[in-house]
Amino acid sequence: MKSHPIIYAILISALLGLVGCSSSPANQPQVNSDPVQRGKALFELSMIGENKAPGCVVCHSLESGKNLVGPSLAGIATYAQTAVPGMSAEAFLRQAILEPDKHLMEGYPAGVMYPNYGKDLAPEEIDALIAFMLTLK
């Protein structure tokens, strides 16, 4: 019966191995592969990225009409569809994260939104944030 711990150890490392493999995009389990959920979780962090930049919730609420340092992002997906003629909602939201001063929300100044998310966040994290914002209709 001494072999049990060893068997458990093998089983556990096999499981960990499976979890480890999940970081390859082709092979993600359901929980991690939902970019909307990942994006929501990222959005809600008070610090984000490798330089501990202020997180989105520090400046943006998701409650309609509740403007903080930045505008409420309630309905941002709908706004993004027509904000810039000829630009898709997805492209608009990507630009909003990567180059925040390229397009300004009416009534808000340039130079306030953190400008370095493109350097601090992984491409998948930016994709996840966009996927989440596309649900805010």
Residues 98-127 interacting with ligand HEC (rule: CB under 6 A): 100, 103-105, 108, 112-114, 117
Query: What distance in Å separates the CA atoms of residue 46 and residue 44, rounded to the nearest whole number?
Result: 6
Q: Which two tokens stand for residue 1?
A: 């019966």
Q: Which two tokens stand for residue 24?
A: 């390859």
Is 77 near ligand HEC (CB under 6 A)?
Answer: no
Is 128 near ligand HEC (CB under 6 A)?
Answer: no
For residue 86, the minimal CB distance to ligand HEC (Å) is 15
- CA–chain centroid gap for 42, Å, is 5
Residues 6+ apart with CB under 8 A from 10: none
Residues 6+ apart with CB under 8 A from 88: 81
Is 60 near ligand HEC (CB under 6 A)?
Answer: yes
Binding segment for ligand HEC among 8-16, 24-32, 89-97 (CB under 6 A)? Answer: 89-97
Residues that bind ligand HEC in the complex, under the rule CB under 6 A: 48, 54, 56, 58-60, 69-71, 73, 76, 93, 96-97, 100, 103-105, 108, 112-114, 117, 129
